[in-house]
């Protein structure tokens, strides 16, 4: 994937996350600045989602840890564990927001 393709794909992913947060039952306030999307919750906690173009990775920073994902066989898979980006982010949002959260396919 070229850098331009990665930037386009990651922009679409950040937009998808913003839209899902806007539709969520939990009180989530998304703030995007460049390649960083900050999700702020009612209790003041935050999840940071950003892209790292040099490695073509998506990163999640949450209160339970930091995670890196790379596109592998059509899915954003964890570079360190068995996780998948959207499932892991949904889990983090559920932990922070106190309400069940999922990304509708």
What predicted TM-score, i.e. pTM, was given to this entire model? Answer: 0.92
Query: For 10-69, what is each residue's pLDDT tens digit?
Result: 999 999 999 999 888 778 999 999 899 999 999 999 999 999 999 999 999 999 899 999
pLDDT at 51: 95
**Contact between 56 and 70 (Cβ < 8 Å):** yes
Return the beta strands (E) in 1-105 as ranges: 28-33, 36-41, 46-52, 57-62, 65-72, 75-78
Q: Residues with Cβ < 8 Å from 102, sequence gap 6 or more? A: 90
Q: Please check the confidence at residue 105 and state whether its pLDDT lies above 60.
A: no
């Amino acid at each position: 994937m070229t850098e331009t393709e990665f930037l386009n794909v990651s922009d679409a992913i950040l937009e998808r996350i913003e839209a899902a947060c806007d539709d969520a039952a939990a009180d989530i306030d998304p703030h995007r600045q460049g390649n960083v999307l900050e999700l702020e919750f009612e209790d003041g906690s935050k999840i940071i989602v950003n892209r790292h173009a040099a490695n073509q990775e998506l990163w999640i920073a949450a209160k339970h840890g930091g995670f890196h994902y790379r596109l592998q066989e059509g899915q954003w898979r964890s570079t360190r564990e068995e996780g998948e980006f959207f499932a892991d982010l949904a889990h983090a949002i559920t932990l922070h927001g106190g309400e069940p959260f999922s990304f509708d396919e």
